Structure 1
Amino acid sequence: MDIYEILKYLPHRYPFILVDRVVSYEPGKQIVAIKNVSINEPYFVGHFPHYPVMPGVLIIEALAQAAALLTLKTENAAKNDAQVYYFVGIDGVRFKKPVAAGDQLVLKVNITRQIKGVWKYAARAEVDDQLVTEAELMCTARNI
């Protein structure tokens, strides 16, 4: 999926779209996506001016956006303006290494369970084949 297809599925827009490309996906199973981390990211102005590091919460958000894409592709549903995907839980978060300007964040998300509209995922982010962040995510769709 390129950015144009991603924008058909996710409601996020600049500066909060955190998935640039989907490399592969298998509906109902897994997705691999990319976030190119540029020095032009707005958060680098204050985090941190002397050593630009991507905030951990935004790495988790990038993983969640990849998870949402996987769920939407699994359900074969383009963006529905009447629904928003929300976090319902985040467990076991570990930050192993900082993510800096110039890094390419590889987002790997697997569906581990889906019950009554709640999806659970095993998620990991890597840079240069090294784990930088891992977490278990739970999300659900709600009408707005």
Structure 2
Amino acid sequence: MFNPDPAAYLPHRYPFLMLDRLLALEPGVSACAERQLTGTSGNFPQVCLIECIAQLGGIIAIQEEEEGGFLASINSAEFGELPCAGDILTISAKIVASFGRLFLMEGEVDCGGRMLVRAKLSLGVGKL
């Protein structure tokens, strides 16, 4: 059953949870989520855009409740425009390949058609 609350899948909580709502989820394949930047979000650093993709990738890759995970590497990242307060970010990610419990992910964050970041990441998933 699909739950749109990212906190149902991740141990992260405010202020470390970078996703507000899941829009779509196909476990083991891909997902899409949203994050709205408020005035209290302040200046949202671009590295946090990478964390948005990593968290969404973790949701895609997990197979068991309370399974741990970690960002193993940022293989490539292409940064575009800067996000601003009030922006609604759309985060998308998909698994490109898996090697046991290591996953190669591709993801992107955009806002109204403006590309903010495109990245390839490696995630490790499993009991730590």
Fold-level match, TM-score > 0.5?
yes
4+ aligned runs moved over 2 Å, structure 1: 141-144
In 1, the alpha carbon distance for the partners of 2:55 and 2:33 equals 10
Structure 1 residue identity aligned to 2:61: T
Give yes or no for the alignment of 1:14 onto 2:14: yes
Correspondences of 1:45-84 after superposition (within 5 Å):
53-72=43-62, 75=63, 77-78=64-65, 80=66, 83-84=67-68
The one-letter code sitting in structure 2 at the alignment partner of 1:62 is: C
Looking at structure 1, the residues matched to 12 and 55 of structure 2 have their Cα atoms a distance apart, in angstroms, of 9
CA RMSD, 1 decimal = 1.4
Q: CA deviation at 1:39?
A: 1.0
Structure 2: which 5+ residue stretches go unaligned? none
Name 1:34's counterpart in structure 2: 34
SS class of match (2:54) = helix
CA distance in 1, matches of 2:29, 2:72: 20
Deviations 1:74-97 (A, max 9, x none): x2x22x1xx431111102211110
- Matched AA of 2:76: G
Question: What secondary structure sits across from 1:143 in the alignment?
Answer: coil
Are 1:110 and 2:94 matched, yes or no?
yes
Residue type at the aligned position of 1:7:
A
Q: Tell me the distance in 2 between the aligned counterparts of 1:38 and 1:105.
A: 11
Give the number of the structure whose alpha-carbon radius of gyration is greater: 1
Which of 105, 108, 111 aligns to 1:124? It is 108
Question: Is contact 2:105–2:120 with CA below 8 Å preserved after alignment?
Answer: yes
Q: Give the residue type in structure 1 aligned to 2:85.
A: A
> Hey, what does 1:2 align to over in structure 2?
4
Q: Percent of aligned pairs with the same residue?
A: 23
What TM-score comes out, normalization by structure 2 length?
Answer: 0.91
Number of aligned residue pairs: 126
Normalised to the residue count of structure 1, the TM-score between the two structures is 0.81
